Structure 1
Amino acid sequence: MSAPPAARLTTNLTVDTSPIVLTPAAGTDLDDVWRAVVPESRARSNDVHLPMSLAYAERLCAVHPRADARLVRVATLLHDTGWGRVDEERILSEGFTGDWRKAEIRYEHERQGCLVAREVLPPLGYAPEFVDRVTAIIDGHDTRPYSLSLEDSLVRDADRLWRFDYAGIALAAGWFRLDPATYADRLETEILPELLTEAAHTLAVAHLARSRALLKTDVLR
């Protein structure tokens, strides 16, 4: 992904930077969607990544009230379900090595994620127009070099924010075959600059500092 705009999207509201475990995703209104994608949640630790990302998405929506929160929440829940439809061995061998951002499997998981959304949402009563908006965000959330909308930006930021929590570092560092300290450094230099909203940047900085302190990355390197 290319660098974000010179000016990130701002908010006049206060951003909650407390540990994400204190505010899991609220409500039960999306439980039917969760149940529909249980098989897809078992690939690439989606059953950790997706709930955490949704919790971050809700924090971002709270400080961006103009956003369509329902769209952001559903798109975030489904954005990586396509990993459950690709060869799991290829996920690690291609999706996290070399020029991993351009790996074909990343495009494939986006395409498959759109198919998942089109399979599970209509039977649950979601309108075709809404499903189209969800798939427009999913299709390119990792590979498209620009954001389509405020909602797209919030989904993209939520997808990245989970990595700054200690649980995200623990999982993702292993995927990239890095130790936590090196991965934390990579988050600061590569992922932090990509964030599209000031709220996400504020969250990431606070959570990365907390994770580094917990994981003793100043000495365990």
Structure 2
Amino acid sequence: MVVPRQHPDANHVGQDVTAHLPDPASVAGTSGFRPGDADVWRLAVEYLHVRSNDGHTAYSYGLAAALCDLHPEADRDVVLPAIILHDTGWSRVPEDEVLEAIRPGGGRPDLVIRHEKEGAAIAADVLARLGRDPAQVAEIVAIVDGHDSRTTALSLDDAIVKDADKLWRLTPHGVDTVMDWFGLTREQALVLIGSRVHGHLFTEPARAMARALAAVARIDTVPQRIALG
């Protein structure tokens, strides 16, 4: 996984403008991982090094946090740990069978359900080790157990987790990942992704995000953009 650069390659204006930047706390989308969620990540990440789930989970966390911003009634203490833990169960599925579970023209529903059940068990263990509230743990475990196979949402919290999970596919990282999973061109991958995202989201903010992400992803496939290099 390519890590996005954190420092500039140049300063074309030739001046230090950092003193004029606003307080990050006043700008939407700049908060990163909450301390308590970082603890969940620390225990969960060892289960996420399968099928690019580590990168997928990190980006999905950001999307889930944004959806929580737009749904202040959501319980972040449920949504954000749930999105971190939702795909940990793939670590207990044979790696050579993981992509067969979701392959176009095929699919293994039994493996999808298996990863949900295993993920629910891992979630329960991780959250117990962190001493989390039992009522919240129960809701998180229920969300993880069924996040892919269940076609309805148990709650707003569940809907946000499901939506954030799907929205990742339309991010640049998601499109790149799906291309290499199935040997597809960027344009083909975007068609496959769109068929599995648009029309399958629960919240209006997620539907708007999906349209925006898809618009950017589509421009990455047009000759005018490609010619720019």
Compute the TM-score of the two structures, normalised by the length of structure 1.
0.83
Instruction: Give unmatched runs, 5+ long, in structure 1.
Output: 1-21
1:187 to 177, 185, 193: 193
Counterpart of 2:46 (choices 17, 39, 42) is 39
Q: 1:120 aligns with which of 115, 126, 145?
A: 126
> 1:219 Cα deviation (Å)?
9.1
Among 106, 113, 126, the alignment partner of 1:107 is 113
Contact 2:87 2:115 survives alignment (8 Å): yes
Structure 1 residues 103 and 219, CA gap change in structure 2 (3 angstroms): farther
1:212–1:218 contact (8 Å) kept in structure 2: no
Residue equivalent to 1:147: 153
Q: Distance in 2 between matches of 1:123 and 1:217?
A: 52
CA contact (8 A) 1:181 1:218 kept: no
Question: Percent of aligned pairs with the same residue?
Answer: 36
* Contact 1:95 1:105 (C-alpha < 8 Å) held by counterparts: no
Query: Which residue number corresponds to residue 18 of structure 1?
Result: none
Shift of 1:218: 8.5
What CA deviation, in whole Å up to 9, does each residue of 1:36-86 have, x standing for no partner?
122212111111000100000000000101111110101111000111111
In angstroms, what is the RMSD of aligned CA positions? Answer: 2.0
The one of 201, 204, 210 equivalent to 1:198 is 204
Q: 1:217 to 1:211 in 2, by over 3 A?
A: farther
TM-score calculated relative to the size of structure 2:
0.80
Q: Which region of structure 1 is more displaced relative to structure 2, 192-201 or 30-39?
A: 30-39
Instruction: Identify which range, 37-46 or 170-179, moves more after superposition.
Output: 170-179
Aligned pairs for 1:1-221 within 5 A: 23=30, 25-100=32-107, 103-216=109-222
2:58 is aligned with what amino acid? P
State how far apart, in whole Å, the 2-side matches of 1:99 and 1:207 are. Answer: 27
Secondary structure of the 1:196 match is coil
Q: Is the 8 A contact 1:53 1:161 kept in 2?
A: yes
Q: Does the 8 A contact of 1:24 with 1:55 survive in 2? A: no
Structure 1 position 97, deviation (Å): 4.1
Shift of residue 173, structure 1, vs aligned partner:
2.5
What is the CA-CA distance between 1:122 and the residue it aligns to? 0.8
Q: Note the residue ranges of structure 2 that are not aligned, 5 or more in a row.
A: 1-28
